[in-house]
Structure 1
């Protein structure tokens, strides 16, 4: 290791490859500790269950209530442990964010008159993961994931990813939205304003699950579908939706 000492063995936590690889490695190595604490929690649940059984004069079934509560505690702790790892799947590269978001958008929006086009690009220029056209207007949705401890927030109108500015990310997607809007307006004659979004698959969002800053909205895929579905209908009629969707399918390159 450059700058290191031959007499001091390097700490493997600070060497190696990507953060995702190390996250998964240490998560798996810590599994015995988590399992041990799960047994302890289940034991406490058993004691509480027995005490509750005795408290309510269920002496004959107190052991059963103890086992039941212990099982619930064990299962609940296992589920929370699994979920904390599962929600990092896109960040770790185990799942594809665009596939998840595309499925959510189609299931939620198509029955409400929306068209969802996946993986589109202006030839030789900008590309986006999803283009959504419907009664409430037009949206582009890209997919991103950050480390599980990165807080996504807006301070004084500026976008932040942890301690880093998010202005570059916001500017790039806003410019993509403008480029797509210009192309669709020019080809169809229908005035189009496109709302850019990022579907966040990993990272810490605020309690309401939405961050709006610098012309960009960041939110979970299901929240994105709800927000689009809740937009005021009547911005586009059926013929305009059909025209815009056909034009987008023809003029925008699949990626």
Structure 2
């Protein structure tokens, strides 16, 4: 977030009675229940596999069909459990969101003429995780994570995280985008505007994975490059992109 780190740091938040600590504790304690449930589902899959084999007159192969179906069901159930836990990695402090998003941005945008600068700040002011400059314009992207059950939504034009207003999150990032745009416009004499985004690594986004509220776009990290590529028209030439990227690298402090 502007002005500070967006991640839960290795301090007391990750020990004792923090939400992250309890989440991992309950996850581990619930492992036997998940295994028992997986065995039951695999057994049902075995029965279905045998039934399908008999239905198609493959009685001799029915045990193998049952085992294959049981394996598929068990593997699928394990994968869903793993994905659910893995989705909380940034929130739990196991991974860094800026590394994830930066890799996705470069992989999708670099070959299309976009420049991605990580960890930039106006000296003495707010910082951002990524600045993207390309044919479609400019974006700043920060990373954030909330608890897995936090609903992120827009009601009446207002941003909400659960039952809390999200203005304290949206306003600083919007102001940072304006400050970055003012600096780059002044230094390059190329009039630019910057669109602020927030990559949400953990939390409940609505179907589609995007929320637009209070001048901010909140979205799943994998959608950031897609939204950038969908920008209409070419607003910057290759020469302008190079000038803006060089100026940003020179004028914006690395964080």
Shorter-chain TM-score tier: over 0.9
Aligned to 1:18: 18
Aligned to 2:75: 75
CA displacement at 1:203 relative to structure 2:
0.6
Aligned to 1:4: none
CA displacement at 1:233 relative to structure 2:
3.3
Aligned to 1:166: 166
**Partner-residue secondary structure (3-state), 2:207:** coil
More displaced stretch, 190-199 vs 48-57: 48-57
**Partner-residue secondary structure (3-state), 1:184:** helix
Query: Hey, what's the Cα distance between the residues in 1 that align with 2:46 and 2:178?
Result: 60
TM-score for both structures, normalised by structure 1: 0.93
CA displacement at 1:228 relative to structure 2:
0.2
Residue pairs, 1:129-168, within 5 angstroms: 129-168=129-168
Q: Which runs of 5+ in 2 are unaligned?
A: 1-14
TM-score for both structures, normalised by structure 2: 0.93
**Partner-residue secondary structure (3-state), 1:120:** strand
**Partner-residue secondary structure (3-state), 1:101:** helix
Residue pairs, 1:90-105, within 5 angstroms: 90-105=90-105
CA displacement at 1:101 relative to structure 2:
0.3
CA displacement at 1:54 relative to structure 2:
1.1
Bigger relative contact order, structure 1 or 2, given CA contacts below 8 A and separation 6+?
2
Aligned to 1:236: 236
Q: What whole-Å deviation, never above 9, does each CA across 1:88-136 have from its counterpart, x for those lacking one?
A: 0000000000000000000100111100000000001010000000000
Is structure 2 residue 53 aligned with structure 1 residue 53?
A: yes
Q: Which runs of 5+ in 1 are unaligned?
A: 1-14
Runs of 4+ in 1 over 6 A off after TM superposition: none
Aligned to 2:7: none
Query: Hey, what's the Cα distance between the residues in 2 that align with 1:251 and 1:67?
Result: 62
